[in-house]
Amino acid sequence: GYQRVLEENRKLYNQVQDLKGNIRVYCRVRPFKPGQSNTLSSVDHMDERTITILTHSKNGKEARKAFTFNKVFGPSVTQAEVFSDMQPLVRSVLDGYNVCIFAYGQTGSGKTHTMTGPKELTEEGLGVNYRALSDLFHISNQRKETISYDISVQMLEIYNEQVRDLLSADGVNKRLEIRNSSHNGINVPDANLVPVSLTSDVINLMNIGHKNRSVCSTALNDRSSRSHSCLTVHVQGRDLTSGNILRGSMHLVDLAGSERVDKSEVVGNRLKEAQHINKSLSALGDVISSLASRSSHVPYRNSKLTQLLQDSLGGQAKTLMFVHIAPEYEALGETISTLKFAERVATVELGAAKVNKDSGEVKELKEQIASLKAALARKE
């Protein structure tokens, strides 16, 4: 009885979510660092879709604010579990879809952990980038009697609104141009595009990319937190019977740290970096929220990042914004601003404003949910 109603309710809710289009927002909360277990947390409560943050109101009283996402991952969720949720999205690349996956959050919140993994990589620690490519290899191999796939990757960095090649043999110093050609769409013709067919190929390339990235950093100047890195996977599949070609692409983006810097405290290069980051992250937010609200004008041209990804944001493309939260109470200010960014990108999809644009099917499902909820309430 009760369990079945609950189950039905969840199934319908998921169906509504699936019909909701191509922009999804996930939230992941990092665990406390070792030895930090008694630290005060800003996170009051989490469930599958909601995170509640503990704040304080002006008069010092405790207050709570809840944010809703397509999915919330708590601190004990493993890399494998995170990936398994994203697997259908990743696999759609082999069917010719364009996919963008973004890791957003303040420095230290776990973006690189999600996308790449911890510094000392173990099998269980492997991040989305490795798992996604391994999975593409695995599925393309399963389909090899019917479709022949070519998979290749690029790895770019955007730092201070300049695009550089992380797979370049002679370092990352050359600035590259983003071009728009009629037959290739948006591309960076001078960046290395490397064919891959084994997970070990990917591991080797990522090592080159990481080395190139760290060459530009010093201990005091961790450039990786102030640049965006983008691993792009290009897939081309040829149907062995019809000869038809399909193309898909996936961008896996580890964004620059979203923390606001105090303008009174930084000057020179650091200020310039901060302004570039600000500009590109808000440009990204603007693009995604105007896509979500189906606005007729999408402002792609306001940053290098959105220009680079233009073909893969909007239309039939699928976007996953993965926001990361540090649990410490001291991070509360940044946590709230991260959740607000995520909410801005997401609520247009989840909010009531879209009701009249819903298809009849969504409306019907919503009505069913309402009546199931009522049934549930009567049981309680």
C-alpha span between 255 and 224 (Å, rounded): 9
Closer residue to ligand ADP (CB): 94 or 100: 100
The sign of the CA dihedral 15, 100, 138, 207 is negative
CB of 88 to ligand ADP, least distance (A): 22
268 is in an annotated binding site: no
DSSP state of 5: H
| Closest residue to ligand ADP using C-beta atoms | 110
C-alpha span between 25 and 19 (Å, rounded): 15
C-alpha span between 336 and 342 (Å, rounded): 10
Closer residue to Mg ion (CB): 209 or 237: 209
Q: Which residue has the tokens 């997401």?
A: 346
Burial of 158 (C-beta count, 10 Å sphere; 0-12/13-18/19+)? buried
Closer residue to Mg ion (CB): 110 or 285: 110
| Closest residue to Mg ion using C-beta atoms | 112
Q: Are 170 and 239 in contact (CB under 8 A)?
A: no
105 is in an annotated binding site: yes
CB of 324 to Mg ion, least distance (A): 10
Closest CA relative to residue 157, chosen from 276, 26, 326, 334: 276
Can residue 289 be called a binding residue for Mg ion (CB under 5 A)?
A: no
CB atoms within 10 A of CB 287: 25
Copy the structure tokens of residue 356: 């009249």
Strand partners, 155: 231
Can residue 112 be called a binding residue for Mg ion (CB under 5 A)?
A: yes
122 is in an annotated binding site: no
119 is in an annotated binding site: no
Instruction: Give the x/- contact pattern for Mg ion in 39-58, rule: CB under 5 A.
Output: --------------------
Closer residue to Mg ion (CB): 157 or 286: 157
| Binding positions for ligand ADP, rule: CB under 6 A | 30-31, 105, 107-113, 118, 225, 324
125 is in an annotated binding site: no
96 is in an annotated binding site: no
Phi, psi of 155 (to 5 degrees): -135, 115
CB of 306 to Mg ion, least distance (A): 21
Closer residue to Mg ion (CB): 111 or 318: 111
Residue list for the binding site for ATP: 105-112
Residue list for the binding site: 105-112
Q: Which residues bind Mg ion (CB under 5 A)?
A: 111-112
